Amino acid sequence: MVMDEKSSDEVKEILLESPDKISDLMKAVTHVHRLQVLALLIDGPREFGSLLDVVNLSKTALANHLAHLLRRGLISRSERGMYRITTDGRDFCEAIASFYKNSTSREMNQIEQLKTQYSRGFRALEMEEKMVANPPVMQYAAAHKSLSIT
Protein backbone atom coordinates (compact mmCIF):
# COMPACT_ATOMS: atom_id res chain seq x y z
CA MET A 1 0.00 0.00 0.00
CA VAL A 2 1.49 3.32 -1.11
CA MET A 3 0.84 6.45 0.92
CA ASP A 4 -0.46 9.50 -0.84
CA GLU A 5 1.36 12.78 -0.28
CA LYS A 6 -1.14 14.06 2.31
CA SER A 7 -1.03 10.96 4.50
CA SER A 8 2.74 10.77 4.08
CA ASP A 9 3.06 14.35 5.34
CA GLU A 10 0.74 13.59 8.26
CA VAL A 11 2.75 10.51 9.26
CA LYS A 12 5.98 12.45 9.02
CA GLU A 13 4.56 15.27 11.14
CA ILE A 14 3.33 12.90 13.85
CA LEU A 15 6.63 11.03 13.98
CA LEU A 16 8.69 14.22 14.17
CA GLU A 17 6.34 15.89 16.63
CA SER A 18 6.37 13.15 19.27
CA PRO A 19 9.31 10.77 18.74
CA ASP A 20 9.90 10.24 22.48
CA LYS A 21 6.27 9.40 23.21
CA ILE A 22 6.03 7.08 20.22
CA SER A 23 9.28 5.37 21.17
CA ASP A 24 8.02 4.94 24.73
CA LEU A 25 4.80 3.40 23.46
CA MET A 26 6.72 1.04 21.18
CA LYS A 27 8.90 -0.07 24.09
CA ALA A 28 5.75 -1.09 25.95
CA VAL A 29 5.15 -3.91 23.50
CA THR A 30 8.68 -4.92 22.60
CA HIS A 31 8.65 -7.70 25.15
CA VAL A 32 7.33 -11.16 24.32
CA HIS A 33 5.35 -11.49 27.54
CA ARG A 34 3.65 -8.10 27.13
CA LEU A 35 2.55 -9.05 23.63
CA GLN A 36 1.31 -12.35 25.02
CA VAL A 37 -0.71 -10.55 27.72
CA LEU A 38 -2.24 -8.20 25.15
CA ALA A 39 -3.14 -11.14 22.92
CA LEU A 40 -4.79 -12.96 25.83
CA LEU A 41 -6.82 -9.89 26.76
CA ILE A 42 -8.18 -9.50 23.22
CA ASP A 43 -10.60 -12.35 24.01
CA GLY A 44 -11.91 -10.54 27.07
CA PRO A 45 -11.07 -9.54 30.65
CA ARG A 46 -8.95 -11.84 32.80
CA GLU A 47 -7.93 -11.99 36.42
CA PHE A 48 -4.29 -11.85 37.45
CA GLY A 49 -4.30 -15.56 38.35
CA SER A 50 -5.72 -16.53 34.98
CA LEU A 51 -2.97 -14.61 33.20
CA LEU A 52 -0.38 -16.10 35.53
CA ASP A 53 -1.50 -19.63 34.61
CA VAL A 54 -0.89 -18.98 30.92
CA VAL A 55 2.20 -16.76 30.67
CA ASN A 56 4.55 -18.90 32.75
CA LEU A 57 6.09 -16.02 34.74
CA SER A 58 6.62 -15.28 38.39
CA LYS A 59 3.99 -13.13 40.09
CA THR A 60 6.46 -10.25 40.33
CA ALA A 61 7.42 -10.42 36.66
CA LEU A 62 3.79 -10.52 35.52
CA ALA A 63 2.89 -7.64 37.85
CA ASN A 64 5.74 -5.58 36.36
CA HIS A 65 4.61 -6.28 32.80
CA LEU A 66 1.01 -5.43 33.66
CA ALA A 67 2.12 -2.19 35.32
CA HIS A 68 4.07 -1.28 32.19
CA LEU A 69 1.03 -1.85 29.98
CA LEU A 70 -1.23 0.02 32.43
CA ARG A 71 1.07 3.07 32.43
CA ARG A 72 0.96 3.19 28.63
CA GLY A 73 -2.83 2.95 28.58
CA LEU A 74 -2.86 -0.30 26.62
CA ILE A 75 -4.76 -2.17 29.34
CA SER A 76 -6.94 -1.18 32.29
CA ARG A 77 -7.71 -2.81 35.63
CA SER A 78 -11.08 -2.80 37.32
CA GLU A 79 -11.60 -2.53 41.05
CA ARG A 80 -12.14 -6.28 41.19
CA GLY A 81 -8.70 -6.97 39.74
CA MET A 82 -9.84 -7.81 36.23
CA TYR A 83 -7.50 -6.72 33.46
CA ARG A 84 -8.87 -5.76 30.06
CA ILE A 85 -7.40 -4.40 26.88
CA THR A 86 -8.27 -0.76 26.14
CA THR A 87 -9.43 0.58 22.79
CA ASP A 88 -5.93 1.98 22.27
CA GLY A 89 -4.44 -1.39 23.17
CA ARG A 90 -6.71 -3.20 20.72
CA ASP A 91 -5.99 -0.65 17.97
CA PHE A 92 -2.27 -0.98 18.63
CA CYS A 93 -2.45 -4.79 18.44
CA GLU A 94 -4.42 -4.60 15.19
CA ALA A 95 -1.85 -2.20 13.71
CA ILE A 96 1.06 -4.43 14.75
CA ALA A 97 -0.65 -7.56 13.40
CA SER A 98 -1.51 -5.85 10.12
CA PHE A 99 2.03 -4.55 9.73
CA TYR A 100 3.51 -7.96 10.46
CA LYS A 101 1.10 -9.74 8.14
CA ASN A 102 1.94 -7.37 5.27
CA SER A 103 5.63 -7.04 6.06
CA THR A 104 7.95 -7.78 3.17
CA SER A 105 10.73 -8.63 5.61
CA ARG A 106 8.50 -11.37 7.06
CA GLU A 107 7.95 -12.70 3.57
CA MET A 108 11.68 -12.58 2.89
CA ASN A 109 12.35 -14.49 6.12
CA GLN A 110 9.86 -17.15 5.07
CA ILE A 111 11.51 -17.40 1.66
CA GLU A 112 14.93 -17.78 3.28
CA GLN A 113 13.58 -20.50 5.58
CA LEU A 114 12.12 -22.35 2.60
CA LYS A 115 15.42 -22.03 0.72
CA THR A 116 17.31 -23.42 3.71
CA GLN A 117 14.88 -26.32 4.08
CA TYR A 118 15.06 -27.04 0.34
CA SER A 119 18.85 -26.86 0.41
CA ARG A 120 19.06 -29.27 3.35
CA GLY A 121 16.68 -31.66 1.65
CA PHE A 122 18.61 -31.44 -1.61
CA ARG A 123 21.95 -32.14 0.12
CA ALA A 124 20.42 -35.09 1.95
CA LEU A 125 19.06 -36.44 -1.34
CA GLU A 126 22.49 -36.09 -2.98
CA MET A 127 24.10 -37.99 -0.12
CA GLU A 128 21.45 -40.69 -0.34
CA GLU A 129 22.05 -41.06 -4.09
CA LYS A 130 25.80 -41.39 -3.49
CA MET A 131 25.16 -44.03 -0.84
CA VAL A 132 22.94 -46.01 -3.21
CA ALA A 133 25.45 -45.73 -6.07
CA ASN A 134 28.39 -46.64 -3.86
CA PRO A 135 27.21 -48.33 -0.65
CA PRO A 136 29.61 -48.63 2.29
CA VAL A 137 30.02 -52.38 1.66
CA MET A 138 31.34 -51.66 -1.82
CA GLN A 139 33.55 -48.87 -0.50
CA TYR A 140 34.98 -51.26 2.09
CA ALA A 141 35.58 -53.97 -0.49
CA ALA A 142 37.22 -51.54 -2.91
CA ALA A 143 39.49 -50.15 -0.21
CA HIS A 144 40.56 -53.59 0.97
CA LYS A 145 40.97 -54.92 -2.55
CA SER A 146 43.51 -52.21 -3.33
CA LEU A 147 45.37 -53.08 -0.12
CA SER A 148 45.45 -56.83 -0.66
CA ILE A 149 48.56 -58.47 -1.99
CA THR A 150 48.05 -61.13 -4.59
Per-residue pLDDT band at 27 (split at 50, 70, 90):
confident
Is the CB of residue 93 less than 8 Å from the CB of residue 85?
Answer: yes
b vs e for 46-63, b when ≥16 Cβ sit within 10 Å of the residue's Cβ? beeeebbeebebeeeebe
Q: What is the arithmetic mean of pLDDT over 35-62?
A: 96
For residue range 108-145, list pLDDT tens digits in order. 777 777 777 777 766 777 777 776 676 666 666 666 66
pTM across the whole model: 0.62
- pLDDT surpassing 80 at residue 2: no
For residue range 62-89, list pLDDT tens digits in order. 999 999 999 999 999 998 889 999 999 9
**Residue 85 φ/ψ region, left for φ over 0, alpha for ψ in the -120 to 50 degree band, beta for the rest:** beta
Q: Please name the residues in contact with 25: beta carbons below 8 A apart, sequence gap of 6 or more.
A: 72, 92
- pLDDT surpassing 60 at residue 149: no
5-102 CATH: 1.10.10.10
